[in-house]
Amino acid sequence: MDLLSLLTRLPGSYAGPTQPEPGPHGLIGVGEGTLAAHLAATLIPATLTRTGTQFVVSSADAQGAARDYADLAEVAGAGVRRISTGGVPDDVDVLVPGGVLTAYHAAQYLAHASGHAREAAEAEALLATLRDQCLPEILEGNPARDLAWSLWGRTPLLLAAPDAEALPHAWQSLLARVGKTLAVPVLGDPLAVATGAFEAQHEKGDAKVALILGDADPALHVVREVLESRIDEVLHVPFPQSAGPQGEGSTPPSGYAGSLALWYFGAWVAAYLAERYGVQPGDLPVLARAQSALAGEEDPDALGLGRPEDVRRTRVEDVEDESAGDFADDFGDGADLDEE
């Protein structure tokens, strides 16, 4: 099944455990579980706990680190729930699907298991609303298609307020994994980055678009003013709104529900961006091979990751016939490469 079909079916598809686990709760994510843990951090802010329940979210390629964290929590006195996309049965308490959509299934489990069923239900409602707006058959007025068009041919810069720092992480992952596009998260003090990043090379602001994800705090409002004079465009991607009682008005989503909804919207945008570029939105085979090798399921020497022909779009021998002199004539001594 292609990714667009999976995204269409995703809202309401969580079928894992829903019973809450004893608190207090701690949460760590490694491998493919890192993003889910980041999204759920608004519900479970503690990393480690000595009592209650320690959640360790992982994937088969990161089972070594996950096992160490689980052992540490057990020694400290906490109960452990191991959430993973695969691995040794003894290392998996809750199995979630692997791939691009792991974040949804693992995050929804964490919401239920930490006693936040209301937030999980709110997230499902937001996802369903977004799904109805972003379906593939909607060609006009589709917000995901429209944003993908704005990103096409540009390098996105990703910004968010400190309480939504999982969003740049989520969108960078989605745009790379699905849209096959590099996006740059702006971390730390965004104002310091925005004011200085393009001063030495003004042309670096060309073909850049900044995405302010979620609610903009006062600092991001200033950052927007600065970036509007330095790059092509600045766009705000707000949290989606949920319908109020009897469908009247709208209510702002909670931090978790809004973040999961924006992750879902980012997946649609990335899928349509891949469509614009004419590439497949699914994972590349090299990712599965690398994960298998790290999980001990494949001989690392068989990966061929060190051979240029396996990972480069252009093979080295394909350009060896080009004249080095002609290249130098076209571009001089290299000083004007950026301008060219």
pLDDT one-digit tens code per residue, 54-89:
999 999 999 999 999 999 999 999 999 999 999 888
Token digits of residue 93:
């308490």
- Span 30-55, average pLDDT: 97
Q: What is the CATH number of domain 21-114?
A: 3.40.50.10490
Q: Please state the domain extents for the chain.
A: 21-114, 138-277, 285-331
**Model pLDDT, residue 219:** 95
DSSP class of residue 238?
P
- Span 209-214, average pLDDT: 97
Which pTM does this prediction carry?
Answer: 0.85
Q: In the predicted model, is pLDDT for residue 186 greater than 70?
A: yes
Closest residue by Cα to residue 239 from 13, 2, 42, 37: 42
Taking CA atoms, 305 is separated from 124, 179, 311, 315, 316, in Å, by 39, 22, 7, 14, 15
21-114 against 138-277: fold identical = yes
Q: In the predicted model, is pLDDT for residue 319 greater than 50?
A: no
Q: In the predicted model, is pLDDT for residue 338 greater than 90?
A: no
Q: What is the CATH number of domain 138-277?
A: 3.40.50.10490
Q: In the predicted model, is pLDDT for residue 303 greater than 80?
A: no
